[in-house]
Amino acid sequence: MAEPRRSENGDVGHVHLTRDEIAARVAELGAEIGREYGGLDPILVAPLKSSVVFLADLTRALRIPHTLDVVELAPYTDGQSGGVRLLKDVDAPLEGRHVLLVEDVVDTGLTLNFLCRTLALRAPASIAAVTLLDRPYRRLVDELPLRFVGFTVPDELFAGYGLGLDEGWRALPDLHVVSSVALPRAATEAA
Amino acid sequence: MQVRDESPVFQAYCGNTPPRFANRIEVECAKILDYYGVPWDYEPQSFVLERDAEGRVVSAFTPDFYLPEQNLFIEVTVMKQSLVTRKNRKLREVHRLYPHVRVKLFYRRDIERLAQRYRLRLAS
Q: Assess contact for A48 and A88: CB atoms under 8 A.
A: yes
Q: Assess contact for B74 and A140: CB atoms under 8 A.
A: yes
Q: Which of A156, A119, A122 is nearest to A137 (CA)?
A: A156
Per-residue confidence (pLDDT) for residue B123, from 0 to 100? 46
Per-residue confidence (pLDDT) for residue B55, from 0 to 100? 93
- Please say if the pLDDT value at position B16 is more than 50: yes
Q: What is the pTM of this model?
A: 0.84
CA distance B1 to A153: 38
Per-residue confidence (pLDDT) for residue A27, from 0 to 100? 98
Per-residue confidence (pLDDT) for residue B7, from 0 to 100? 58
Q: For B50-103, how does the pLDDT look when each residue is reduced to its tens digit (9 = 90+)?
A: 999 999 999 999 999 999 999 999 999 887 766 788 888 899 999 999 999 999
Contact B25 A187 (CB under 8 A): yes
Q: For A46-100, how does the pLDDT look when each residue is reduced to its tens digit (9 = 90+)?
A: 999 899 999 999 999 999 999 999 999 887 765 565 678 889 999 999 999 999 9
- Please say if the pLDDT value at position A182 is more than 60: no
CA distance A186 to A190: 8
Contact A187 B113 (CB under 8 A): no
Per-residue confidence (pLDDT) for residue A155, from 0 to 100? 86
- Model ipTM value: 0.76
Contact B9 A81 (CB under 8 A): yes
Q: Assess contact for A182 and A13: CB atoms under 8 A.
A: no
Report the gap between the CA of A36 and the closest CA in chain B (Å).
29
Q: Has A107 been annotated as catalytic?
A: yes
- Please say if the pLDDT value at position A34 is more than 90: yes
Neighbouring C-beta atoms of residue A45, cutoff 10 Å? 26
Name the phi and psi angles at B50, rounded to 5: -155, 140
At residue A12 the predicted structure's pLDDT band, cuts being 50, 70 and 90, is: confident
At residue B112 the predicted structure's pLDDT band, cuts being 50, 70 and 90, is: confident
Report the gap between the CA of B120 and the closest CA in chain A (Å).
6
Select from B9, B23, B123 the Cβ nearest to the Cβ of A190.
B23
Contact A83 B121 (CB under 8 A): no
Q: For A103-139, how does the pLDDT look when each residue is reduced to its tens digit (9 = 90+)?
A: 999 999 999 999 999 999 999 999 999 999 999 988 9
At residue A190 the predicted structure's pLDDT band, cuts being 50, 70 and 90, is: very low
Name the phi and psi angles at A24, rounded to 5: -65, -40
pLDDT mean over B10-20 = 91
Q: For B34-50, how does the pLDDT look when each residue is reduced to its tens digit (9 = 90+)?
A: 888 899 999 999 999 99
Q: Specify which residues A168 forms β-bridges with.
A: A165
Q: Assess contact for A111 and B36: CB atoms under 8 A.
A: yes
Interface of B with A in 53-112 (CB under 8 A): 67, 70, 72, 74, 78, 104, 106, 108-112
Q: Assess contact for A9 and A65: CB atoms under 8 A.
A: no
- Please say if the pLDDT value at position B2 is more than 60: no
> Which residue on chain B is closest to A143 by alpha carbon?
B70
> Touching check for B6 and chain A: CB below 8 Å?
no
At residue B124 the predicted structure's pLDDT band, cuts being 50, 70 and 90, is: very low
ω into A88 cis (within 30 of 0): no
Q: Which of B40, B116, B124 to mutate to test the interface with A (most CBs of A within 10 A)?
A: B116
Contact B123 A138 (CB under 8 A): no
Q: What is the dihedral of CA B40, B41, B43, B49, to 10 degrees?
A: -70
Q: How far is CA A138 from CA A150, A187, B49, B65, in A?
A: 18, 20, 25, 14
- Please say if the pLDDT value at position A157 is more than 70: yes
Name the phi and psi angles at A53, rounded to 5: -70, -45
